[in-house]
């Protein structure tokens, strides 16, 4: 920039309030269905029951922080099994990438939490204040007694939704009916009230006030997906070759009668009016477009009214947008490298997790060798090594477990300060830490460090767990 250049005016555009208009049609119905489904699952899931037997919680989905467990219906995840969460994160990421490869930001338009809750808040706003035109007129007129009442009612309902959103979240961390009773009688833990307050505030601000600003300025996904998409992905697009030049219905009819070009777009701005981010899709692909398809529904209604074919705005690919001016027919390529790789990765990770769940044992053992000293010589010439062994019992009943060691001849195992030298009782759904000594007799002390295997077996022999470590002849 030259030194003589003078900048006048603001360096940024101030926010222009968006007043989305209600519409109906295929994509609006899909959004309503997904809104009811996703919010229904979120709000009601903590109250579902699942009988796991005595001594275990009967909440279907529970994150039990005090006991460090995650329960999901018949699945129980322990802290040692954090790799399942890693697998779920990989599957979630690959699913998001697959959705992007198929239809751009379709996640943003239909399933993102910001979209779902903002849709719900918009529905409340329309119910209290009216549709787009009414809200715009009321905002221009300023405050009246009725306007204050409407605003107060709207924000009260928003806060109630936000409050229940925060409340539903904490119910996943404790028995839901019990915690609800404690919350209502002000006997719940302080952390519950703190997190409900935080989530109430964030939901109210993001869904009620920040709205499209979250999608445009805060969320990183629009920038990421723009770099990941390709020319074959379906995106909401305006068919300019058919829509241009824009003119009224009468002018278009007159132009067609004279053999002059006339577009189907009558410049009614309905596509802009219904957009939750205020985007004019006729200007092409934009960062603010969340691919929700509401502009398609709005445009189809107008096309039906003026007797023109639907889908002037539709899901289309960049390839077809470039082919139409050349008079070439549209082509689609749903099966390509990325739409095959992502499902393959989802299937591979999902299959591995299912296999691991199906074959995992409900008995576990971990071994930690003493570090100082590594070994202790005995008066009779033998050598002793010390270990800390942790037994894991995933069943809902007491479990009698027998310990043994193998890997070198003559090794003798003894549990320190226990009634039995080789047996222990592990409480239900818990771990038991034991001090164990392994002794090599004088005539059978290994000449070098030797791999040994500790085996834990329950009393009926149905479950066995092993762990490997080393036996050191000298420390």
Q: Give the confidence band of 287 by pLDDT, cuts at 50, 70, 90.
A: confident
One domain, residues 215 and 258: no
pTM attached to this predicted model: 0.84
One domain, residues 247 and 389: no
Q: Is the pLDDT of residue 462 over 80?
A: no
- Closest by Cα among 199, 43, 28, 200 to 115: 28
One domain, residues 100 and 59: yes
One domain, residues 125 and 272: no
pLDDT at 395 (0 to 100): 82
CA 65/CA 348 separation, integer angstroms = 30
Q: Give the other-Cβ count within 10 Å of 421's Cβ.
A: 13
Asked whether residue 304 is assigned to any structural domain, the reply reads yes
One domain, residues 155 and 215: yes
What mean pLDDT comes out for the span 68-89? 88
The two tokens of residue 189 are: 């833990």
pLDDT in tens, 135-157: 999 989 888 899 999 999 999 99
pLDDT at 232 (0 to 100): 92
Q: Is the pLDDT of residue 12 over 60?
A: no
One domain, residues 253 and 195: no
pLDDT at 1 (0 to 100): 45
C-alpha distance from residue 416 to each of 137, 424, 436 (Å): 82, 11, 6
> Tell me, what CATH number does 392's domain have?
2.60.40.10
Q: Give the confidence band of 475 by pLDDT, cuts at 50, 70, 90.
A: low
CA 235/CA 296 separation, integer angstroms = 11
pLDDT in tens, 172-195: 999 999 999 999 999 999 999 999
pLDDT at 164 (0 to 100): 95
One domain, residues 215 and 69: yes
Where in the sequence is the domain holding 311, given as residue range(s)? 239-319
What mean pLDDT comes out for the span 371-386? 89
Asked whether residue 464 is assigned to any structural domain, the reply reads yes
Q: In what order do the strands lie in the sheet with 450-458?
A: 423-426, 399-406, 450-458, 464-471
One domain, residues 84 and 219: yes
- Closest by Cα among 348, 314, 334 to 98: 334
Calculate the average pLDDT of the chain.
Answer: 90
Domain final residue, candidates 191, 206, 228: 228
361 exposed, middle or buried (CB, 10 Å; 0-12, 13-18, 19+)?
middle
CA 32/CA 410 separation, integer angstroms = 71
Asked whether residue 371 is assigned to any structural domain, the reply reads yes
């Amino acid at each position: 920039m030259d030194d003589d250049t003078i900048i006048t005016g603001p360096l940024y555009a101030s926010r222009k309030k968006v007043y989305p208009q209600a519409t109906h049609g295929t994509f609006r119905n899909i959004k309503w269905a997904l809104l009811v489904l996703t919010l229904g699952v979120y709000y009601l899931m903590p109250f579902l029951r699942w009988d796991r037997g005595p001594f275990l919680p009967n909440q279907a989905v529970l994150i039990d922080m005090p006991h460090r467990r995650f329960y999901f219906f018949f699945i129980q995840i322990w802290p040692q099994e954090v790799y399942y969460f890693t697998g779920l994160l990989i599957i979630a990421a690959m699913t998001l990438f697959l959705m992007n490869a198929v239809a751009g930001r379709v996640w943003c338009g239909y399933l993102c939490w910001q979209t779902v809750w903002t849709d719900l808040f918009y529905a409340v706003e329309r119910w209290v204040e009216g549709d787009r035109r009414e809200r715009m007129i009321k905002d221009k007129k300023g405050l009246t007694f009725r306007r204050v009442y409407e605003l107060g009612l709207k924000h009260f309902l928003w806060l109630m939704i936000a409050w229940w959103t925060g409340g539903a979240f904490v119910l996943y961390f404790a028995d839901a009916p019990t915690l609800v009773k404690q919350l209502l009688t002000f006997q719940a833990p302080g952390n519950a009230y703190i997190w409900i307050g935080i989530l109430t505030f964030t939901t109210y601000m993001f869904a009620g006030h920040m709205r499209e600003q979250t999608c445009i300025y805060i969320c990183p996904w629009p920038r990421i997906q723009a770099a990941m998409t390709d020319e074959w992905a379906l995106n909401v697009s305006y068919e300019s070759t058919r829509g241009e030049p824009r003119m009224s219905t009468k002018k278009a009819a007159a132009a067609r009668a004279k053999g002059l070009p006339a577009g189907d777009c009558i410049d009614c701005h309905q596509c802009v009016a219904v957009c939750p981010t205020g985007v004019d899709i006729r200007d092409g692909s934009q960062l603010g477009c969340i691919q929700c398809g509401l502009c398609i529904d709005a445009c189809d209604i107008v096309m039906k009214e003026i007797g023109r074919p639907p889908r002037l705005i539709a899901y289309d690919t960049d390839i077809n947008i470039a082919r139409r001016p050349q008079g070439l027919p549209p082509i689609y390529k749903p099966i390509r490298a990325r739409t095959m790789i992502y499902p393959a990765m989802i299937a591979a990770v999902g299959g591995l997790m299912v296999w691991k769940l199906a074959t995992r044992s409900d008995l576990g053992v971990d071994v930690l060798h003493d570090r100082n000293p590594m070994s202790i010589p005995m008066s009779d010439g033998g050598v002793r090594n010390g270990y800390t062994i942790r037994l894991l019992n995933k069943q809902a009943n007491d479990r009698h477990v027998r310990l043994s060691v193998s890997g070198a001849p003559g090794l003798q195992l003894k549990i320190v300060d226990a009634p039995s030298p080789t047996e222990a009782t592990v409480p239900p759904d818990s771990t038991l830490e034991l001090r164990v000594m392994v002794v090599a007799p004088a005539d059978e002390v290994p000449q070098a460090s030797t791999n040994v295997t500790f085996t834990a077996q329950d009393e009926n022999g149905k479950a066995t767990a092993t762990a490997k470590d080393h036996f050191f002849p000298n420390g």
